[in-house]
Amino acid sequence: MPLSSKHLLGLSGVPKEDIQLILDTAVTFREILERPIKKVPTLKGKTIVNLFFENSTRTRISFELAQKRLSADTVNFTTSSSSTKKGETFKDTVLNIEAMKIDMIVVRHQSAGVPQFLTKISNASIINAGDGRHEHPTQALLDMYSIKEKIGKIDGLKVCIVGDIAHSRVAISNIAGLISMGAKVSVCGPATMIPKSIESLGVTVHHDINKAIAENDVLNILRIQLERKAGTNIPSLREYHNYFGVTEERLEKNNKDILILHPGPINRGVEISSEVADGPYQVILDQVTNGVAVRMAVLYLLGTMN
């Protein structure tokens, strides 16, 4: 069974079967990453454009590696060196790139809804690599893959997303994906960082990090996003660390079996202590490796769809 859509814009409203198919397919690609020649010829002749209107290290390199390992031809676009600086509109930029005969677009943009807009002006398959505060579906997929790889299942697990929920597209995608895969999802953070109607997404809210650690199987710790003005929502980073920072002491006191995820980049000593970030509870770098496999799975499933 192929995926139900030729685009991946988010995980909200995506059928469970699609998420399952992506996670299952990623297992195949994870194996390829362990081979001496980490490349398969599957997307030979397909052209993929990476449109990154916002800074990114992990996601951009991860997508690019995933594309190269599937033998696709890739072109990278970054705003700083493009004609948008000469006043070209976003739509014209995309139409010009499209005119060069491309098959897929991976897009990251600071405004929510840009990937959706692209599906209306382009015939290519669109993959959202993060749009504003809206969604970041491949991150949530790789988080779920990492949970499944470590614990063996997602269904029935209790997962808490900790941190700046209000500014986080990772949180929104994770909540949608995890709930449809049968997990019980909660969020934890200061009241100023939790949107008022978040319960309508089907999650419960914690304000006590110790309780969140004690009651959950998995903690997905989000970064305090200073570039998105998160600093105005908390008195100081030090206070945030004192109340919500995940430290070894808190883990050992409340729950020694917990699994720690973090989408990166990590702020050591803010949302996570260095001991935890390098310690036995976390799978932060496994998440990065799995990210390539999951993105290969998405590119494969969308790129070979007829």
Partner 1 sequence: MEIKATIIDEEGLNRTVTRLAHEILERNKGSENLVVLGMRTRGEFLAQRIHKKIMEIENKEIPLGVLDITLYRDDFRTRLKQPEVSTTNITFDLNEKNVVLVDDVLYTGRTIRAALDAVMDIGRPSTVQFCTLVDRGHRELPVKADFIGKNIPTSFNEEVKVKMKEIDGEDAVYLVEIKKENNES
**Cβ pair 127, 66 in contact under 8 A:** no
Interaction pattern, residues 34-63, with partner 1; x per rule: CB under 8 A: -xxx-xxxx---------------------
Closest separation in Å from C-beta 187 to partner 1: 35
Cβ closest to partner 1, residue 77 vs residue 300: 300
Closest separation in Å from C-beta 2 to partner 1: 4
Considering only residues 11 to 30 of the shown chain, the ones binding partner 1 according to CB under 8 A are 25, 27-28
Cβ closest to partner 1, residue 37 vs residue 191: 37
Interaction pattern, residues 247-286, with partner 1; x per rule: CB under 8 A: ----------------------------------------
- What does the alpha-carbon distance between residue 290 and residue 287 come to, in Å, rounded to a whole number? 5
Closest separation in Å from C-beta 39 to partner 1: 7
Tokens at residue 172, please? 């929104």
Which residues, 6+ apart, have CB-to-CB distance to 286 below 8 Å?
A: 146, 149, 150
- What does the alpha-carbon distance between residue 37 and residue 273 come to, in Å, rounded to a whole number? 37
Cβ closest to partner 1, residue 42 vs residue 110: 42
Cβ closest to partner 1, residue 47 vs residue 79: 47
Tokens at residue 30, please? 């994870």
- Total of residues contacting partner 1 (CB under 8 A): 18
Closest separation in Å from C-beta 25 to partner 1: 6
Q: Please, what is the end-to-end C-alpha distance for the chain in angstroms?
A: 12
Cis link prior to 280 (omega < 30° from 0)?
Answer: no
- What does the alpha-carbon distance between residue 97 and residue 128 come to, in Å, rounded to a whole number? 17
Taking residue 81's Cβ as centre, other Cβ atoms within 10 Å add up to 9
168 binds partner 1 (CB under 8 A): no
Residue closest to 48 by CA, chosen among 75, 79, 69: 75
Torsion angles phi and psi, residue 75, rounded to 5: -130, 135
Closest separation in Å from C-beta 137 to partner 1: 20
Interface residues toward partner 1, by CB under 8 A: 2, 25, 27-28, 31-32, 35-37, 39-42, 300-301, 304-306
